[in-house]
Amino acid sequence: MSTMRAMIVPQPGASLELVERAVPEPGRHEVRIRVHACGVCHSDSVTVQGLFPGIEYPRVPGHEVVGTIEAVGADVDGWSAGERVGVGWFPGSCGYCGHCRRAEAFACENVHGATGVSRDGGYATHMIADASALARVPASLDSVESAPLLCAGITTFNAIRNSGARAGDLVAVQGIGGLGHLGIQFAARLGFRTVAVNRGRDKEALARKLGAHDYIDSAADDPAEALQKMGGARAIIATVTNADAMQAIVGGLGAGGTMMLIGATGPISINPIELLMKSAGVKGWYSGTSADSEDTLRFSELHAIGSMNEIYPFAEAQAAYDRMMSGKARFRVVLKMD
């Protein structure tokens, strides 16, 4: 095959456009992937709407990619054609800068940006990826069903396991959506007393089915007070994109607790007293590196964790993106390639 198809963003704010291109050859430290599936994530709006400075157009979005290595470039060790791999937000790293040498590859000084933002992503039949961005996909995981684990999954799993909470602690997952429905599953399987927090009661049954031990309706009760009555949260995983909702729950942290912000929103206002008197904190969390993606995939395989997906054919990428942006999807949207 000498040509490939891709859905490009020709310029910021434009609709996706189907184009045909020559199949690219991988450069040094790169591989070419035949894409099987790509999740449609809210972060793709960064590329579609031009929300990051310096994005070069046209650009192919997509950073929840599962596919098979077709070709391996020079100086790539440990990877072979035919292996099934995943690529997430993490675009790779140099391996030798100060951050990389200190196990902080996500903050690499020489490789910047993200998959589908600074380089073409997975809304295509083929893509090029840096070898350091690759994660091995367990054989038992379905390519289409597991694609969202490469962003929504790793973001929630990694935030929870880096929150400082220990087995038996109370962990609250705020928001039952694309991130939260996975966060509840991870928190419960990791051994935490899992509390789901959401506006209204319509998702309570689902939250409990996913593993939540308790449920707080933030429309009927003050979520911070409710968490304090339970003893205070060791961790709050804030997946919502509403600043007021985030501010309303900070007071629910217990002594030494941490609120992990993984939902992108505008500025939030926090009373320092609420943190000082408890030695509590608020922290943002980057999704993770390719090694974290592998951990997420393996843990999901071991504990039968999966996302709830709406699947669209590749040719309907614009409809899939619009559905995701509408906020009505239950809960992730995935493109299935031909």
The answer, yes or no, to whether the previous bond of 58 is cis (omega within 30 of 0) is yes
pLDDT tens per residue across span 136-165: 999 999 999 999 999 999 999 999 999 999
Alpha-carbon distance 15 to 11, whole Å? 9
Is the distance from CB of 93 to CB of 129 less than 8 angstroms? Answer: no
The pLDDT of 32-54, averaged and rounded, is 97
H-only helix segments in the chain: 45-48, 98-101, 143-146, 152-161, 180-189, 204-210, 223-229, 243-249, 272-276, 290-303, 317-326
Please check the confidence at residue 266 and state whether its pLDDT lies above 90: no
Q: Which residues contact 36 (CB under 8 A, 6 or more apart)?
A: 66, 67, 68, 84, 143, 144, 336, 337
Which residues on neighbouring strands pair with residue 9, listed in sequence order? 59
The pLDDT of 22-30, averaged and rounded, is 98
Residue closest to 256 by CA, chosen among 275, 229, 276, 280: 280
Residue 101, judged by CB atoms within 10 A of its CB (0-12, 13-18, 19+), counts as exposed
Residue 14, judged by CB atoms within 10 A of its CB (0-12, 13-18, 19+), counts as middle
Cα 43 → chain centroid: 9
Start-end of CATH 3.40.50.720 domains in the chain: 154-284
Alpha-carbon distance 157 to 300, whole Å? 10
- pLDDT value at position 265? 82
Tokens 């099934």: give the residue: 84
Sign of CA dihedral 330, 267, 183, 231: negative
Is 276 in a helix, a strand, or coil? helix
- Composition of the chain by helix, strand, coil, percent to 5: 30, 25, 45
Please check the confidence at residue 1 and state whether its pLDDT lies above 80: no
213: left (phi over 0), alpha (psi -120 to 50) or beta: alpha
Residue closest to 62 by CA, chosen among 48, 78, 44, 79: 44
The pLDDT of 181-192, averaged and rounded, is 98
154-284: CATH topology: Rossmann fold (3.40.50)
Start-end of CATH 3.90.180.10 domains in the chain: 3-151+288-336
Question: Is pTM, for the whole model, over 0.95?
Answer: yes
Please check the confidence at residue 281 and state whether its pLDDT lies above 80: yes
- pLDDT value at position 253? 98
pLDDT tens per residue across span 294-307: 999 999 999 999 99
- pLDDT value at position 181? 98
Tell me what percent of the residues of the chain surpass a pLDDT of 90. 98
> pLDDT grade, residue 264 (50/70/90)?
confident
3-151+288-336: CATH topology: Quinone Oxidoreductase; Chain A, domain 1 (3.90.180)
